[in-house]
Amino acid sequence: MLPAPDADPKPGHLYVVGTPLGNLEDMTFRAVRMLQAVDLIAAEDTRHTGKLLAHFQITTPQISYHEHNRQSRTGEVLHHLQARQHAVALVSDAGMPGISDPGYELIAACIEAEIPVIPIPGPTAAITALCVAGLPSDRFIFEGFLPLKGKERTVRLEAIAQADCTVVLYEAPHKLVKTLEDLVGVLGRDRPLCLGRELTKRFEEFWRGTLGDALEHYQATAPKGEFTIVIQGATREHPVLSEQAIKAELEHLLHQGISRTDASRQLAKATGQPKKLIYQLSLSIDIDTDEGA
């Protein structure tokens, strides 16, 4: 026997409603009912959500809530909720609001204002891809989108390399090759991964292999659609050492009379790190050797 349905939405409550990633059949009965019954829907893109609402014959009014207007809109939505006259639903363009999405700021503001926040679960790209990646899922880190450039991106990449559990990333098609290049540069070519694109949509596809092979594949085949990247964590076979630890090992080998090239080759094999990266580190060590690059 099915449990009794929830009570109707209550005034002064924010309902965080999951919507399909692409396939409309993933819309839950509960999500449809709640969107029909609330007084207002705060949507990332009202045109995109409007198509979804029309499909399910939902006529509830919308307001936009996105990255560029979140500061002004947060106060407006809080006003509706604090007056205890309206129930409001928050939706993203796809999936669960608040996951790599400006909606988390509204959720946090409601919690701070002691406004009840009720989840209406739905699909999430990160979990959808993780479930079928074929990589360990007992522990994982969700990184969302990487910083675009600079030290912040480098620090994040180094943290991913150190992680001993599965890592999940999001990436846009036009940035995928650059991200794969950076991942290969820090994690090496041999790290297993799974890339899922256009999840639940008509051209859904999963590519499985190593970082190096993925880079070659997408250099030859133009990426299309939004990607979710699932990367295996560091293993004992290829322990990920910090830059300081690698330099210490290099210094030890160089003091034994081993050339920079041979020392870099040995450490690359032992750690799974790119030889080129290790060799560059060796150049910062003041040891008199005869061999060049």
Q: What is the mean pLDDT of residues 192-211?
A: 96
Summarize pLDDT for 4-28 with one digit per residue, the tens.
556 789 999 999 999 999 999 999 9
Architecture of domain 126-231: 2-Layer Sandwich (3.30)
Q: Which of 82-91, 131-140, 213-222, 265-274 has the lowest mean pLDDT?
A: 265-274
Q: Measuring CA to CA, which residue among 120, 163, 121, 122 is closest to residue 143?
A: 163
* CA dist., res. 189 & res. 174, Å (int): 21
Terminal CA-to-CA distance of the chain, rounded, Å?
72
- Which are the contacts of 255, defined by CB distance < 8 A and separation ≥ 6? 287
Q: Measuring CA to CA, which residue among 290, 249, 289 is closest to residue 269?
A: 249
Q: Indicate if the pLDDT at residue 285 is higher than 80.
A: yes
With contact defined as beta carbons under 8 Å apart, do 128 and 197 qualify? no
Q: What is the pLDDT of residue 291?
A: 47
Q: What is the pLDDT of residue 288?
A: 59
Summarize pLDDT for 57-99 with one digit per residue, the tens.
999 999 999 988 888 899 999 998 998 889 999 999 999 999 9
pTM: 0.79
Summarize pLDDT for 154-174 with one digit per residue, the tens.
899 989 998 999 999 999 999
Q: What is the mean pLDDT of residues 117-132?
A: 96
Domain boundaries, the chain: 14-123, 126-231, 243-282
CATH 3.40.1010.10 corresponds to the domain 14-123: yes
* Average pLDDT taken over every residue of the chain: 90
With contact defined as beta carbons under 8 Å apart, do 4 and 86 qualify? no
| Cα–Cα distance list, 287 to 81, 227, 242 (Å) | 67, 45, 21
- Which are the contacts of 155, defined by CB distance < 8 A and separation ≥ 6? none
